[in-house]
Structure 1
Amino acid sequence: MSGVETFRRLHRRPSPEEPLVLPGPWDAASARAFADAGFPALATPSAGVAASLGYADGRTPAEEMFAAVARIARSVDVPVSADVEDGYGLPPKELVERLLEAGAVGCNLEDSNGGVLKDPRAHADWLAEVRSAAADRLFVNARIDTFAQGVTDPARAIERAALYVAAGADCVYPIGAPVAVLPLLRSGIQGPLNVSAKVGEGPTPAELGGLGATRVTFGPGLQRRATAAAKEIAARLRQEQGQG
């Protein structure tokens, strides 16, 4: 079974309370740590990878992002999906080729750029081109940025989801959706639903699954937790240095 087939199968969960949990590695070392812990697949966060490379979120050059994804994918034996923001302006065929060359089995594609929502129908047409170029070789997760951009009406997210699923998206991701609206989104959206979680805060992945999540991701949250831990270690070392 190929990596993308394995990844698709992982989205068919045995029960609602068992969503697919996808930690977000930002480099090869973190990817190995998550894989060694037993997670069956991983999903890179663009913001976390950007931070690891010294860039602000959204500022990573495409070449460096694909190179980082390739290092992560070849460091583990589990499927890796890659967050490649809004595709970096690449033609669909080239975008697909770059993802496959990096070893990714899936991708996360946003429907906004520079804080501005894209026209949903035009974006759906573009997603359809990505789907056509990828055929069955990539699992496409279409991110919906309405909530992130201040559009709070769930109906707008559901409308975009319908267009993106019709265009061939395998999963949709209404990032920033309030927990309270998840059952409504679940009832109005066909296919897998990606929901983000915060480590140690809010609903657990199992609780999010009960509310409708097919899969749970963490964005750059894990990378930021690791950075905070590194800062604590650094402060302790400085303190010990001062005492010596």
Structure 2
Amino acid sequence: MSQPTPSLADKAATLRALHERPEPFVIANAWDIASARMLEAAGFPALATSSAAAAEAAGKRDGQLTRDETLAHVRLLAGATPLPLSADLGNGFGHRPEDCALTIRLAAEAGAAGGSIEDSSSEGGAAILDFDLAVERVAAAAEAARALPFPFVLTARSENFLHGIHDLDDTIRRLQAFERAGADVLFAPLLPDLDAVRRVCASVSRPVNFMAGVPGRSFTVRELGQAGVRRVSLAMSLYRHAMKAARLAAEEVRDQGTFGYLER
């Protein structure tokens, strides 16, 4: 007898509870229905989207998907498995706080149990948004999340390191402000080493997400847990690994006329 499909409220409660465990958990990033179901079968407790993987799978570059395209992708993955899904919502598809609030509401309608908003710019000029505006956007997203009929898990991202701004003090300042503004999870992609991870985790009281999958800047789940991390995401690394394996298999057939990949 098949198990009943969990409600969105149940999924969100599950996602929230995962962050409260004493040990970190890995939230695996899927890019289509097949990968979502594979990751479910592999035993991961929750899934996330990756804006970069979603864009590449659609033949575009990261940041080129529209809000409607992103929401369609979220809807597809949210319905693929009974696992809770956290949506990578970029910078909220607009700089205004109300843009972020609307994106959170629409992501929830699409089936996301949680989602992230980052402080990067998409309209030219400085790569990172002004501090006060960034905080206002997280506050608006948090207000929208709290108005939902289920415990949506809001992640706030400080993108400094991802854009080559190696300023840990400002990153921590932003994450602390995002926590005060109502974020449930805090995230600074591309932290350079475990000392930086420890500093970030010690500076806030909310769970911290670490993005693995970057050569030279990825650590074991155990090491990250000891540093204070509560969630580990994989970004687009699984997608890239899958595409590389498929390319190597195709090149074997093209160059050697053999099918050794079938035995591996």
TM-score, normalization by structure 1: 0.92
**Is 1:146 aligned to residue 160 of structure 2?**
yes
> Any gaps of 5 or more consecutive residues in structure 1?
none
Tell me what 2:206 maps to.
Answer: 191
Cα distance, 1:79 vs. partner?
0.1
Identity of aligned residues (%): 34
Distance 1:67 1:240 in 2: 40
Tell me what 1:233 maps to.
Answer: 249
Distance 1:147 1:23, change over 3 A: same
**Is 1:204 aligned to residue 207 of structure 2?**
no
CA RMSD of aligned residues (A): 2.0
**Any idea what SS the aligned residue of 1:72 has?**
helix
**Any idea what SS the aligned residue of 1:22 has?**
strand
Tell me what 1:7 maps to.
Answer: 15
One-letter amino acid of the structure 1 residue matched with residue 220 of structure 2: T
One-letter amino acid of the structure 2 residue matched with residue 10 of structure 1: L
Residues 51-83 of structure 1 deviation map (CA, whole Å, 9 limit, x = unaligned): 111111111122111111111110001100000
Tell me what 2:127 maps to.
Answer: 116
**Any idea what SS the aligned residue of 2:26 has?**
strand
**Any idea what SS the aligned residue of 2:60 has?**
coil
Q: How many residues align?
A: 240
TM-score, normalization by structure 2: 0.85
Cα distance, 1:34 vs. partner?
0.4
Q: 1:98 aligns with which of 75, 99, 106?
A: 106
Work out whether residues 120 and 163 of structure 1, in 8 Å CA contact, stay in contact via their aligned partners in 2. no
Higher relative contact order (CA 8 A, sep 6+): 1
Q: 1:171 aligns with which of 177, 182, 185?
A: 185
Residues 138-168 of structure 1 deviation map (CA, whole Å, 9 limit, x = unaligned): 2111111112223323211111011101110
**Any idea what SS the aligned residue of 1:142 has?**
strand
Distance 1:34 1:200, change over 3 A: farther
**Any idea what SS the aligned residue of 2:79 has?**
helix
One-letter amino acid of the structure 2 residue matched with residue 197 of structure 1: A
**Any idea what SS the aligned residue of 2:115 has?**
strand
Distance 2:110 2:39 in 1: 19
**Is 1:83 aligned to residue 88 of structure 2?**
yes
One-letter amino acid of the structure 1 residue matched with residue 54 of structure 2: V
> Any gaps of 5 or more consecutive residues in structure 2?
1-8, 260-264
The farther-off stretch of 208-217 and 132-141 is 132-141
**Any idea what SS the aligned residue of 1:21 has?**
strand
**Any idea what SS the aligned residue of 2:82 has?**
coil
Distance 1:183 1:200 in 2: 19
Distance 2:214 2:34 in 1: 19
One-letter amino acid of the structure 2 residue matched with residue 26 of structure 1: W
Tell me what 1:71 maps to.
Answer: 76
One-letter amino acid of the structure 2 residue matched with residue 68 of structure 1: H
**Any idea what SS the aligned residue of 2:225 has?**
helix
Q: 2:48 aligns with which of 26, 43, 46?
A: 43
